[in-house]
């Protein structure tokens, strides 16, 4: 079971730092290998960053041995709560430069936050100095990673507004989008199954309302308990949980409200129109904030929504 970061001892914090530096160095090596042919200058930057991470790891190991001996316990990022789970896209070829830039920024931000938080839990002066020095190096790495966008697209300048936008996406848009997608799609089946089984707008409304509220509560707790945000920068768990839960409930209630209309056929047509609007909104949000091509986003969302919609009608008509 994953442990809370605040429960780690100085020995375990150093061991975790060794593991993080080794993992980051290997990922940077994969970035360099995947970009070398098309982006040699950027590949060289990642190779330099890999060598620095290797130096950090060596310094951490030396300090660990001086304080705690030869054996370094295996503690990985997945063993501690608060880390973002990384999708290993660095193994795919060809690498997309935009994805590499975003991942590098997130990696450096996360590692920097780790060192900042680790310093507050360490009392040994030598270890605190080492962690502070590494935090400063990670800050420089973060600046270098942010500068990649300017190198790739010189006409776009990095600004404080862009940084705030990314924070907004990380803390609000991503959990909100996850909730909206879950609420809009997962509640389709019970709402329309109830509608076709009973041919009653009132019954369909009650089922939809219950499913939406239940899904909202479930998603709120799931998101709030998944990550405390201390290392990832994803914000406070309560806020993320509230956003996810609210958007989940809103996504389900949206196509439930038309069943307040007493005429079943009119209510059904109105609900279908609302569903189409919901799926279109999700596709637009994914395009605007998640850099997903509109046609691709629309296809993915529509296919999932239509399948659940058909399943609900089929079950309700059985």
Domain 5-152, what fold?
Answer: Ferritin (1.20.1260)
Residue 103 in contact with residue 83, Cβ under 8 Å?
no
Binning pLDDT at 50, 70 and 90, where does residue 147 land? low
* Total count of residues recorded for the chain: 318
pLDDT tens per residue across span 250-263: 989 998 999 999 89
Q: How far lies 151's CA from each of 31, 146, 157, in Å?
A: 16, 10, 10
DSSP-assigned letter for residue 200? -
Query: CA triplet 51, 56, 60: central angle to 5 degrees?
Result: 150
Whole-number Å distance between alpha carbons of 4 and 81: 5
The domain spans of the chain are 5-152, 160-317
pLDDT tens per residue across span 158-183: 444 565 566 677 778 888 888 888 88
User: How many other CB atoms are found less than 10 A from the CB of residue 128?
Assistant: 16
Letter string b/e over residues 75-100, b meaning 16 or more CB atoms within 10 A of that residue's CB: bebebbbbbbeeeeebeeeebebeeb
Whether this model's pTM surpasses 0.85 = no
For position 27, what pLDDT does the model report? 92
Letter string b/e over residues 268-279, b meaning 16 or more CB atoms within 10 A of that residue's CB: bebbeebbeebb
């Amino acid at each position: 079971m994953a442990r809370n970061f605040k429960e780690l001892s100085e020995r375990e914090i150093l061991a975790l730092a060794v593991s993080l530096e080794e993992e980051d160095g290997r990922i940077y090596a994969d970035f360099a290998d995947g970009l070398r042919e098309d982006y040699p200058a950027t590949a060289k930057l990642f190779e330099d960053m890999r060598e620095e991470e290797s130096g950090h790891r060596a310094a951490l190991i030396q300090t660990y041995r001086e304080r705690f001996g030869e054996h370094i316990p295996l503690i990985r990022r997945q063993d501690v709560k608060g880390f973002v789970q990384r999708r290993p896209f660095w193994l795919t070829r060809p690498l997309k430069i935009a994805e590499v830039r975003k991942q590098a920024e997130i990696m450096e931000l996360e590692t920097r936050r780790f060192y900042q938080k680790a310093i507050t839990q360490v009392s040994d002066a030598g270890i605190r100095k080492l962690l502070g020095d590494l935090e400063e190096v990670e800050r420089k790495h973060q600046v270098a990673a942010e500068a990649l966008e300017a190198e790739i697209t010189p006409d776009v300048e990095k600004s404080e507004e862009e940084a705030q936008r990314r924070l907004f996406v990380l803390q609000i848009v991503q959990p909100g989008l996850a909730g909206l997608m879950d609420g809009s799609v997962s509640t389709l089946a019970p709402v329309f199954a109830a509608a076709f089984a009973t041919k009653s707008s009132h019954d369909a409304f009650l089922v939809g309302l219950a499913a939406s509220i239940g899904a909202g509560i479930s998603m709120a707790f799931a998101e709030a308990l998944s990550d405390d945000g201390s290392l990832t920068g994803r914000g406070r768990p309560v806020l993320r949980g509230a956003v996810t839960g609210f958007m989940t409930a809103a996504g389900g209630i949206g196509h439930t409200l038309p069943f307040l209309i007493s005429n079943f056929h009119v209510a059904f047509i109105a609900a279908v129109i609302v569903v189409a609007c919901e799926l279109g909104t999700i596709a637009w949000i994914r395009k605007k904030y998640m850099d997903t091509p509109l046609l691709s986003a629309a296809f993915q969302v529509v296919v999932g929504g239509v399948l659940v919609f058909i399943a609900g009608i089929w079950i309700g008509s059985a």
